[in-house]
Amino acid sequence: MRLVGYDDDFGRIAGRDGPPIVHFEAVPGWQVVRLDQPARRLQLPRGVELDLGSSGKALAADLAAKAALCASGSGGVLVCLGGDIAIAGKVPLGGWRVLVAEDSATPPDGPGEVIALHGGAVATSSTTVRRWVQGGAEVHHLLDPRTGRPADGPWRTASVVAASCVDANSAATAAIIQGSAAEPWLAGLGLAARLVATSGEIRYIGTWPVPMAAATP
CATH second-level architecture of 10-215? Roll (3.10)
Phi and psi torsions of 57, nearest 5°? -65, -40
| DSSP classification of residue 36 | E
| pLDDT at site 214 | 58
| pLDDT at site 216 | 46
Quick: pLDDT tens for 121-144. 999 999 988 887 777 778 888 888
Phi and psi torsions of 178, nearest 5°? -65, -30
Quick: pLDDT tens for 66-99. 999 999 877 899 999 988 999 999 999 999 999 9
CB atoms within 10 A of CB 188: 8
* Residue 73 CB-half CA count within 13 A: 0
Helix 53-72 × helix 165-178 angle, to 10°: 160
Q: What angle do CA 171, 164, 93 make, to 5 degrees?
A: 120
Whole-model pTM: value is 0.85
Identify residue 107 by its one-letter amino acid code. P
